[in-house]
Amino acid sequence: MPSLSMLLRRYLRRASWRTPVLVLLGVFLSSWALMALVETDTDIADPHQYWWWFLITASTVGYGDVYPESTAGRAVAGYVVVGGVVTLTTVFTHVADRISRAKGRRMRGLTDHDLSGHVVLVGYTPGRTERLVQDLRADAAIAGRDLDVVVCAWEDQAEADPFADEPRIHFVRGDLADLPVLRRAAPERAGAVLIDARDDNEAVTLTVAAEEVSSGVHTVVTLRDLTRRRTIARIDRTVHCVQWHATQMVVEELQDPGIAGVYDELMTPGGVGTWSSTAPDGATATYGAWQRALGEAHGATLLALRPPGHLDDVTVSPPWDSPVPAGSVLYYVGPRRLGPDELRGLLGDVPSGT
């Protein structure tokens, strides 16, 4: 059988805020009546005096400026002390229970989050999600921002908040296709929404749900098969699709909308691509001079340089006055690869050292 203390704790946990108020009021009124009855030789029961004595005695402070003199009066004072202790215990138990419940709800992902400008990540994969969150927050930190991220997991993906020790990473758990569950993450006020589902069919389902609660917010969907983006486009043509395994591309697309499309264009055969050619013998020009010459003559954009004989020393977008000696490898974006004769002709038109 449960002990008396266990029964008392169970009762106190179930007690509402009205319980301590009623207990305190009952003790106050009954003790006042008893004190007026037994303390006839002092003015402790006077209305202007008793409330002060009751407050000090019930809180167990006991200044001693006012006190009963009779034995019966002291018995009433003991009754007041017990009533005060019970009241304070009820209040503290209720507060602790509320705090515990709130923490439990947060750990289980059941609370609503009042955020804006954050990233909502729909779907949780152990290891992968942690890496995505870390990269997102690192990129934001470089830009001088402390980014909030809300991770949304299905009930069978995480039993409790996997980021419990991270104050800027929040957690939602439940049926992610259920709109009230998604709304806990405040996606309508988010800076971006990332749908990182377990498979492409689930990605389509979650895209429909996300567009319902956060239409107009920059949304990125990871797909195993990028041909499924045609299906995504039927939901919303502004949603950006990224290859699932390209996590760095996912992060870049969230931070810079549309950049995945640039990479797709560069990787598509028959269109604009990335090329490399070796600077021919002749006059040395600067990076800026090569940039202008390639752009004006061939519609190409110089991206990076590699000095001759340095296989691992590639410099992306160096200063325009950087020298480009003969034999340097030029990396550029253009419609086709340029041959040595085409480059030699360009170099001849560029003044040495400019």
- What CATH code is carried by the domain that includes residue 191? 3.40.50.720
Dihedral of alpha carbons 199, 228, 131, 175, sign:
negative
- What CATH code is carried by the domain that includes residue 313? 3.30.70.1450
261 and 144, same structural domain?
Answer: yes
> Residue 103: is its pLDDT beyond 70?
no
pLDDT in tens, 186-214: 999 999 999 999 999 999 999 999 999 99
Q: b or e along 230-246 (b: 16 or more beta carbons within 10 Å of the residue's beta carbon)?
A: eebeebeeebbbbbbee
User: How many Cβ atoms sit within 10 Å of the Cβ of residue 41?
Assistant: 10
> Residue 231: is its pLDDT beyond 60?
yes
In a domain, 230, yes or no: yes
Which uninterrupted H or E stretch holds 153? strand 149-153
126 and 259, same structural domain?
Answer: yes
- Kindly give, in sequence order, each residue whose CB lies less than 8 Å from that of residue 332, ignoring residues fewer than 6 positions away: 274, 275, 276, 277, 294, 300, 301, 302, 303, 338
> Residue 4: is its pLDDT beyond 70?
no
Dihedral of alpha carbons 174, 175, 181, 187, sign:
positive
- pLDDT at position 230: 92
Q: b or e along 319-351 (b: 16 or more beta carbons within 10 Å of the residue's beta carbon)?
A: eeeeebeeebbbbbbbeeebeeebbeebbeebe
| DSSP string for 309-329 | T-TT--EES--TT-EE-TTPE
pLDDT in tens, 282-308: 656 899 999 999 999 899 999 999 988
- Kindly give, in sequence order, each residue whose CB lies less than 8 Å from that of residue 185, ignoring residues fewer than 6 positions away: 113, 120, 122, 150, 152, 170, 172
> Residue 141: is its pLDDT beyond 50?
yes
140 and 24, same structural domain?
Answer: no
Which amino acid is residue 302, in one-letter code?
L
Domain that holds residue 78: 4-107
255 and 156, same structural domain?
Answer: yes
In a domain, 113, yes or no: no
CA 195 to chain centre: 14
- If one compares 12 and 111, the residue with the highest pLDDT of the two is 111
What mean pLDDT comes out for the span 143-169? 91
Q: What is the DSSP letter of 181?
A: H
> Residue 278: is its pLDDT beyond 70?
yes
Residue 101 pLDDT class (50, 70, 90 cuts): low
Q: Which of 350, 319, 326 is nearest to 277 (CA)?
A: 326
> Measured between alpha carbons, how far is residue 167 from residues 141, 146, 150, 194 in Å?
15, 11, 11, 20
In a domain, 112, yes or no: no
> Residue 311: is its pLDDT beyond 80?
no
> Residue 26: is its pLDDT beyond 70?
yes
What mean pLDDT comes out for the span 263-281? 78
Q: What is the token pair recorded at 49?
A: 């005096």
14 and 32, same structural domain?
Answer: yes
281 and 257, same structural domain?
Answer: no
Q: If you compute the radius of gyration of the chain from its CA atoms, what whole number of angstroms results?
A: 36
Q: Please give the backbone phi and psi of residue 332, each rounded to the nearest 5 degrees, phi first.
A: -145, 160
Strands 219-223 and 240-243: parallel
- If one compares 99 and 119, the residue with the highest pLDDT of the two is 119
Q: Tell me how far apart the alpha carbons of residues 282 and 324 are, in angstroms, rounded to a whole number.
A: 11
Q: Which of 256, 347, 225, 237 is nearest to 297 (CA)?
A: 347
216 and 317, same structural domain?
Answer: no
194 and 136, same structural domain?
Answer: yes
In a domain, 354, yes or no: no
- pLDDT at position 94: 66
> Residue 6: is its pLDDT beyond 50?
yes
Q: What is the mean pLDDT of the chain?
A: 84
Residue 71 pLDDT class (50, 70, 90 cuts): confident
- pLDDT at position 56: 84
In a domain, 14, yes or no: yes
Domain boundary among 43, 73, 107: 107
In a domain, 202, yes or no: yes
- pLDDT at position 50: 87
- What CATH code is carried by the domain that includes residue 12? 1.10.287.70
CA 252 to chain centre: 17
User: How many Cβ atoms sit within 10 Å of the Cβ of residue 79?
Assistant: 16
Count of domains forming the chain: 3
141 and 81, same structural domain?
Answer: no
Residue 350 pLDDT class (50, 70, 90 cuts): very low
Calculate the CA dihedral of residues 86, 92, 97, 103 and round it to 10 degrees.
-170
- Kindly give, in sequence order, each residue whose CB lies less than 8 Å from that of residue 154, ignoring residues fewer than 6 positions away: 123, 124, 173, 174, 175, 176
CB 303 within 8 A of CB 331: yes
> Measured between alpha carbons, how far is residue 11 from residues 20, 25, 214, 342 in Å?
12, 19, 44, 89
Which uninterrupted H or E stretch holds 203? helix 200-213
- pLDDT at position 198: 95
Residue 136 pLDDT class (50, 70, 90 cuts): very high
